[in-house]
Amino acid sequence: MVERLDPLESTPPTFGEEAARQILRDRFGVESSSLHPLAGERDQNFRVDTADGPRFLFKISNPADDRPVLEMQAAALRHIEHVDPGLPIMRALPSVTGESWVEVPGPDGRTYPARVFTFLSGQVIANTALTTEAIWSYGQITARLGRALRGFFHPAADYEIQWDVTHLPKLRPLLTHLSDAHRRAQVERVLDRFQARVAPVLPGLRAQVIHGDLSLDNVLLGDDLRVTGIVDFGDMTHAPLICDLAVAIADVLHGREDAIDAAESLIRGYVSVTPLEEQEAGLLADLVAARLATEITISAWRQRFYPDNAAYAAGSEPGARAFLDSMHAMGMDSVARRFGDASRGLPYRRSATSDLLERRRRALPRSPLFYEHPVHVVRGEGVWLFDPDGRRYLDCYNNVPVVGHSHPRVAQAVTEQQRLLATHSRYLHEAIVELAERLQATMPPGLDAAMFVNSGSEANDLAWRIARAATGRTGAVVTACAYHGLTEATHALSPEEWAEGEQPAHVATIPAPDGYRGPYRREQDGWTQRYAAHIDDAGRALGDHGLAAIYLDPAFTSDGILAPPPAYLREAARRARAMGGLVVADEVQAGYGRSGTHLWSFQASGIEPDMVVLGKPMGNGFPVAAVLVSSQLLEAIPEEIELFSTFGGNPVACAAALAVLAVIEDEGLVANAAKVGAYLRQGLLTLAERHPVIGDVRGEGLLLGVELTDEARQPATGHARKMTEAMRERGILLGATGPAGNVLKIRPPLVLEREHADLLLQALDEVLASS
Ligand code: PMP
């Protein structure tokens, strides 16, 4: 390629003004009043003024330019104008015989192609003058141009040019022209990295005809610094689309001290039109470096061969060096990460973990973080979470991403709905109605009314208002270490979070049905009945308050993941109702198929709760929660009281919730919870045989508890804490729960597979062996 005829080698045309006017008149029918020579690298250009107003650009091209390439450029301009008429490109004026250009004999006897274009106003502006907005908008124009060319085809598009960054490795022989050894080593590093990381994947990137040279030399800007003209299509070729963006970043920003920061603005502008694919985003920094390395190398080479043209050839080279230096000073991986972040359109920038931790502790002093060394997460996928260095963590703790972190269907549903409409629920809209109907179809028929809010706390709070209104009573019964929320009303229902000695007078607690370490044990006949009988005592203890409702998490998660036999819930519900209380099933933890048998964890017992509360997993991370209740019960709330939460049931939340239900069904996740849960449970039981500190393994589906105890069945709390830390160090995230905090809590996304269960089991085995 480097042997190819270099246009700089071929002298630019030198037509006289009179000859030019005659071509314009005879071949294009343009009567010029005056001609103004314009600068050009390899062509001769004139601004043409006419007596009746319109201005034109008259371009006599270098005879070295291939005619099929000129034909391609003409066709591309027509294509762009058709697809995106708003783009400020030149339009070719046909010759009197209808051609895009004419061949004209030059003073030297050679034949030159000559073209006339509409004249675009604007000026060539130095990059240091560009504001952040101007740079952002430049990115947008770059993307629009790429999009306008998306469907364009031309047989000459395989045009090979030195500047095409994908050909970077071919420049290696030219590196000898870099006389500074340090510089040569730096450029070599760019080439090495390119060959290792970029070249192998380039053929798989989306490719098309691209402009390929959106530098400020080829673009005119208006007074507001927005692009008013794209004037040169001489480097157009078929290449990966992302190269257009890489070239714009390198060529527009080189020489600016803030080049890397400014690049983020340019990228953001670009992705506002054309989102990047993951692989493209990951390669962008290397492609920018490739363009800068190309610039540096070709300048050095040309300087040797065309000393007369050295000034032009080297014009932008110092800026390219400075930009490449700053990329290397920051570290290519860090720059790649920043560009990747900018391409995702995130409104924040990644910080170093230690800085972030300090800032967080200062700004959010009461906001809890897991682990002695908190996990800094930047993205998730399926059962995995990733930190900024790309280390992955197997997430065995989170029920929020019930269908897997960042599930594409949920993400897409949310994004598309957000683009379409995001408002409150006081207008008529399909999503909220469909969601209500879909949920009702999964519930006992009596629960024919749905109400949507934003969090489990809010849903339990609302259920509490309904319970009090419907029963006329004011007391509640909850299990001894229950958690039902953060609000004033639900904190009262959450003994797990009560301060020392705090117990509201209107709340009574019952022992949770712990058949392993509680007062009644699984081996004893009627143990569940005996637990349930405590409800009577608790109800009586409420005195004048009377029992408005019992709140039950059917899996007793915060009580230590107890999963009692179905008879317990039946008996508990019966006794609560006998005292006139309502039964609220809090499915915030255990719902959405986690139990492996039903969508809702109360269903295995056959009870029909008066209210069902849904939350956390409902939107796979998008805040949405609900209360399902009977319309009859709702009548207790006076008509004049409006039950409305601004964000509750907004179209985006409902789109998320509907997508979650669809994914659970389509991917068979309830069955997967049963299958992988049973496998994992079996593995845990096997571990228990080897490690006596495992006192009990219990739970259903993918909500499992591993209780750690000493020989006297006393809680090994310190042990559990150490284990969660040790597992975190091994890249597996677990929690600890229960009144004594000695129960390892395994509650992964329902897309957990056997191979993941094996990773968990193996790591647990090792940690248990070494502790
Ligand atoms: N109920 C239960 C059973 C919960 O586990 C939680 C939260 N962990 C809540 C209610 C409260 O939900 P939120 O944090 O969304 O308010």
Do residues 300 and 178 touch, judged by C-beta distance below 8 A?
yes
Ligand 1 centroid to residue 190 C-alpha, Å = 51
- What separation, in Å, do the N-terminal and C-terminal C-alpha atoms of the chain show? 64
Specify the ligand 1 atom closest to the Cα of 587: 3
Closest Cα to atom 13, ligand 1: which residue?
Answer: 456
Q: What is the DSSP letter of 205?
A: S
Distance CA 738, CA 745 (A): 9
pLDDT of residue 204: 96
Ligand 1 centroid to residue 723 C-alpha, Å = 25
pLDDT of residue 5: 43
CA distances, 617 to each of 74, 89, 399, 622, 658 (Å): 55, 50, 6, 9, 12
210: β partners: 237
Do residues 398 and 749 touch, judged by C-beta distance below 8 A?
yes
Do residues 164 and 254 touch, judged by C-beta distance below 8 A?
no
Amino acid at 29: G
Residue list, ligand 1 pocket, CB within 6 Å: 455-457, 460, 483-486, 553, 586, 588-589, 615-616
Specify the ligand 1 atom closest to the Cα of 456: 12
pLDDT of residue 373: 96
Task: Output the CA angle 616-619-623, nearest 5 degrees.
Answer: 65
pLDDT of residue 3: 37
CA distances, 630 to each of 463, 484, 615, 713 (Å): 11, 21, 18, 44
Do residues 696 and 588 touch, judged by C-beta distance below 8 A?
no
Query: Which tokens sit at 130?
Result: 């560009």
Ligand 1 centroid to residue 737 C-alpha, Å = 14
* Residues written for the chain: 771
pLDDT of residue 379: 92
Q: Which residue's entry shows tokens 């849903």?
A: 459
Alpha helices in 258-387 (DSSP H): 259-271, 278-305, 310-314, 317-330, 332-343, 353-363
Closest Cα to atom 10, ligand 1: which residue?
Answer: 484
Closest Cα to atom 5, ligand 1: which residue?
Answer: 589
What is the rounded radius of gyration, in angstroms, for the C-alpha atoms of the chain?
A: 35
Ligand 1 centroid to residue 491 C-alpha, Å = 10
The DSSP result for 589-602, as a single string, is TTTTTTTSS-SSTT
Do residues 35 and 17 touch, judged by C-beta distance below 8 A?
yes
Ligand 1 centroid to residue 456 C-alpha, Å = 5
pLDDT of residue 7: 47
Do residues 484 and 478 touch, judged by C-beta distance below 8 A?
yes
Task: Report pTM.
Answer: 0.83
Best residue among 483, 556, 614 to mutate for probing ligand 1's pocket (most ligand atoms within 8 Å of CB) is: 483
Distance CA 220, CA 216 (A): 7
Distance CA 696, CA 405 (A): 30
CA distances, 226 to each of 55, 88, 223, 448, 481 (Å): 21, 10, 7, 57, 62
Ligand 1 centroid to residue 651 C-alpha, Å = 22
pLDDT digits (tens, 9 = 90+) for 507-532: 999 999 999 999 999 999 999 999 99
Q: Which of 130, 137, 419, 148 is nearest to 269 (CA)?
A: 137
CA distances, 335 to each of 147, 197, 248, 389, 675 (Å): 26, 15, 16, 13, 43
Q: Which of 560, 564, 501 is nearest to 746 (CA)?
A: 560
Amino acid at 94: P
Do residues 582 and 618 touch, judged by C-beta distance below 8 A?
no
pLDDT of residue 349: 78
Q: What is the DSSP letter of 499?
A: P
pLDDT of residue 347: 82
Ligand 1 centroid to residue 619 C-alpha, Å = 14
Alpha helices in 2-100 (DSSP H): 17-28, 67-83
Do residues 727 and 721 touch, judged by C-beta distance below 8 A?
no
Which residues of the chain are modeled with pLDDT < 50?
A: 1-5, 7-8, 313
Specify the ligand 1 atom closest to the Cα of 615: 15
HSE of 150 in the Cβ direction (CA atoms, 13 Å)?
A: 10
36: β partners: 47
Query: Which tokens sit at 534?
Result: 């405590």
Q: What are phi and psi of 73, to 5 degrees?
A: -60, -40
Distance CA 48, CA 31 (A): 9
Specify the ligand 1 atom closest to the Cα of 558: 5
Q: Which of 206, 272, 214 is nearest to 239 (CA)?
A: 206
pLDDT of residue 316: 66
